[in-house]
Chain A
């Protein structure tokens, strides 16, 4: 069981009367790359956001490294430091330089010495081709550059898991590729990755497993070849026939 890093049991989430998640049971192995696909409003993002407690589950349990994170006694900050998240709208901090965006949390929460944090940040920026932007403010960056910054900002905390919530949905078409390339590279590094995406070609290429979430439950899951070539569930078939 030790290679399971995230496990949910009967995970439910309501917003008022609206049942968004109706019971999700899933186990994610260390190093696994899992794509989550499905129609809008089906609960994909909410599921992802429950995994780092941006949403408090209404019922059910979420285990991270065998620890129940819905337990009130959990140190939520310490736990979140182990899970990076990348958002659709980048959410880089506009009041800080690119470099400060990255070094902020390592310096404040992990007490990494400033010089070391900056050195590590520069290495990360180099990896995504932004080293010449280190002292710029985010307003000078394109959408694709902001998203690459958001990715390395999360990576600077050396998380065990990375969550991507539609990382390319707010990008201009010509910038999608540069962001997907960074994520693809990351999938090869052995990082555990969950990614909600509408990029079906990308999901098929990089995933070890695909979850199809619709109406608040996992309707179907399997290897990408199986899901994309011979889906079994009628709702998966319908969805894929519309997007492919």
Chain B
């Protein structure tokens, strides 16, 4: 306990820097991952078969291989003038997009078939059916799962420390090599991760309750 406090007091700027790194990397990954995920989901649901197959293959490959492997592939495959952090973030975005696209697809699929039929029978265009009728209802199915994905992403960014991308796990490594004491720093980092995700999952619960009210 003593050691933990001492390290926390001495190295708190390093932890803060790591926390900041974790937060912005997660935010960027979820934001860009969602945009890319929506695109992949659109392809996946497309009536144009090759597009749908392509998206399916993309999703299967990314879900069927370890994230760490994907990070290495992007790390080595990117041109030398691309900063490491960028390669790693791109890899995380691509990985998250596969999961997010499936979340979006499932959310859209969960909207009652009757809603499509009613909207079609009124003579609404496909664009308006999607934007006015289906997506607003699908969002309700998607949001909780998307928050879960956000939590997974936060934890996933720890893998970026393998490449020293300056997030929380990198802070741990920095302090460990400075103090030769792995456990205190590890416990502190662990508590930060836990607090972050605990707060998020509580917020998620509130959100879920809010959404349930409109049922």
Contact = CB atoms under 8 A, between A and B. Distances in A.
A104 B132 contact: yes
B179 interface: no
Per DSSP, chain B at the interface is helix
Contacts of B215: 139
A115 interface: no
A83 B128 contact: no
Interface string B113-143: 0110111111111001000110011000000
Interface string A131-165: 00000010100000000001001100100000100
Contacts of B133: 93, 95
B141 to A, nearest CB: 12
B208 to A, nearest CB: 17
Given A95-B136, A104-B132, A77 B123 contact: yes
A91 B119 CA distance: 9
A94 B117 CA distance: 14
Nearest to A137: B214
A163 to B, nearest CB: 8
A89 B114 contact: yes
Contacts of B121: 52, 54, 80, 83-85, 87, 154, 163
Contact of A108 (B112, B115, B132, B214): B132
A78 B122 CA distance: 9
Contacts of B112: 89, 91
B214 A80 contact: no
A153 B121 CA distance: 11
Contacts of B114: 87, 89-91
Interface residues on A, range: 20 to 34
Contacts, number: 69
A117 B132 CA distance: 17
B118 A87 contact: yes
A94 B125 contact: no
Nearest to A82: B123
Contacts of A187: none
Nearest to B118: A91
Contacts of A94: 137, 214
A120 to B, nearest CB: 15
Contacts of B122: 80-81, 84, 104-105, 109, 153-154, 157
B171 to A, nearest CB: 44
Interface string A23-56: 0000000000000000000000000000010100
A-B pairs, top 5 by smallest CB distance, nearest first, are A81-B123, A91-B118, A85-B121, A91-B114, A80-B123
12 contacts: A54-B117, A79-B123, A90-B114, A91-B112, A91-B115, A91-B117, A91-B118, A93-B133, A108-B125, A109-B125, A139-B215, A163-B121
